[in-house]
Amino acid sequence: MSNPIKKLLGQTAVYGLSSIVGRLLNYLLVPLYTSVFSEPSDYGVVSELYAWVAFLVVFLTFGMETAFFRFLQDKDDKDKVFLNGFLTVIGINLLFFIVLLFFNQSIADLLLFSDHPEYIILLGAIVCIDAITALPLAKLRAENKAKQFASIQFASIGVNIILNLIFFLKLVKGVYFLELIFPVFDPKHPEDAVFFILIFNLISSLVKPSLLYKHFLNLRLNFDMQLAKEMGIYAIPLVIAGFAGIINETIDRILLKHILSNGSYEFVYENVYGKTKMVVNSLTDAQGQVGIYSACYKLAMLVTILLQAYRYAAEPFFFAQMKSADKNKVYAKVMNFFVAMVCLVFLVVSLNIDFFKLFIRNEAYHVGLGVVPVLLLANVFLGIYYNQSIWYKLSGQTKFGAYIAIIGAITTLVINMLFIPTYGFMASAWATMIVYALQMVLSYYLGQKYYPIKYNLRKFFLYLGVALLFYFITELLNLEGPFGRFFVHNMLIIVYIGMVYTLEKSAFKKNTNE
């Protein structure tokens, strides 16, 4: 029998190709945006808008992806499961967009974008398209059509990248018929840049339904109310959990703007390159804090990229293992590899910040580099929590996912509201890490009580402990020369890789089911 861990890693590699390469291509937009947006406040507008996107996508997909995977295991009519989930998502999104068209100005006023209600309409169109295409893409994952899934994702990302490069690098200057379609960016009007960023995202989002047209052509209004009710009952706690989870991930950018725009504040930010004092006493300054924080947050996203690729493959894989006699043994071994991988990414980025900071071309943003190690560690904890969360999805006790996420969301809100006025965006970074660590611990405790999986805690503490030890060693050494730092830091990374390989190589040589 084939090794299931090798199968999971293979699928993760294919899904990861679209996710990792796509995100890395999007990384090209970080130096691009931070260069053309000379003021961090302008980039802060873009960052906040996309924070709202994250909220809406969770609500508008309505947990139907996970419900689809779960009900595929129990229902004989697989097409009916897909059709019910798909129609549910389409109905929710149509209703949402109609409401948005009528109340876009009121929503813009509430979000402090009163002069730009068009942002709200464009944002709504983007999230509705992404939400509606989520179920057809999930169907491809369930059918193990990873290459088709990856090609669709690549096409969408590629279109977005190309359009942004044409606009911001002024590639059409002098080509007059193209200038009619792509006006050359004028740095004096950053609001035009924000508008076109949203337009390009909308166009790239439309690529997905165009490539998934068969799913729309085959759509039949054969709605099973009883099945829809069962899927909805299963999904609602996941929606609550997802919504609360997005509060943990993105509310800090929204709170930074809304809290700091209502007073006068002074912060001293510190990183490996020294201390910087910043004064915030206007809406523009507050948006600047959002821009700096968001740009530096991107450097911590490499853990998230790995996590996203892993989740695309892991969710259907874990459900497929439900009936295996050795499923818990497989889950435990997968956790070993996962912890080792995310801790390795933590080390690679945090110990090579001299290199990764070059992705942010404008030094005005470098004041926020101190958040990177904190957010990297936060995302390590988040990844472990996601890996553990399979217990309540498999057991059908999704309410516990909602409870954990709600506790995390409340903690996030409290820490940010209490400490942003004193510590600025550093409070947001520490809040993120504390909350993800809390969720990880809660999930482990509840999982051991209701759906025990015997994880290897010694390996968990070994991998995490050694990674943190190596990081603090480099902090204590505080080497000044960039070449000396590069050599010593990467030697420690090689030692870490050697340790993991020595401890885990046997899992690839032996069949996990033996």
Alpha helices in 169-224 (DSSP H): 176-179, 190-211, 213-217
Residue 47: the pLDDT is: 83
Q: Grade residue 398 by pLDDT with cuts at 50, 70 and 90.
A: confident
Residue 512: the pLDDT is: 42
Average the pLDDT over 22-51 and give the result: 77
Considering only CA atoms, which of 126, 149, 125 is closest in space to residue 137? 149
> Mind listing the pLDDT tens digit for each residue in 148-188?
887 888 888 888 888 888 777 764 444 444 444 555 555 55
Identity of the amino acid at 279: V
Contact 394, 322 (CB under 8 A): yes
Is the pLDDT at 475 greater than 80? The verdict is: yes
Contact 375, 294 (CB under 8 A): no
The 10 Å Cβ neighbour count of residue 450 is 12
Complete DSSP assignment for 98-156? HHHHHHHHHHHHHTT-TT-HHHHHHHHHHHHHHHHHHHHHHHHHHTT-HHHHHHHHHHH
CA distances from 381 to 289, 436, 439, 505 (A): 25, 5, 8, 24
Average the pLDDT over 9-29 and give the result: 61
Whole-number Å distance between alpha carbons of 385 and 241: 13
Residue 17: the pLDDT is: 60
Is the pLDDT at 438 greater than 90? The verdict is: yes
Tokens of 463: 């991998």
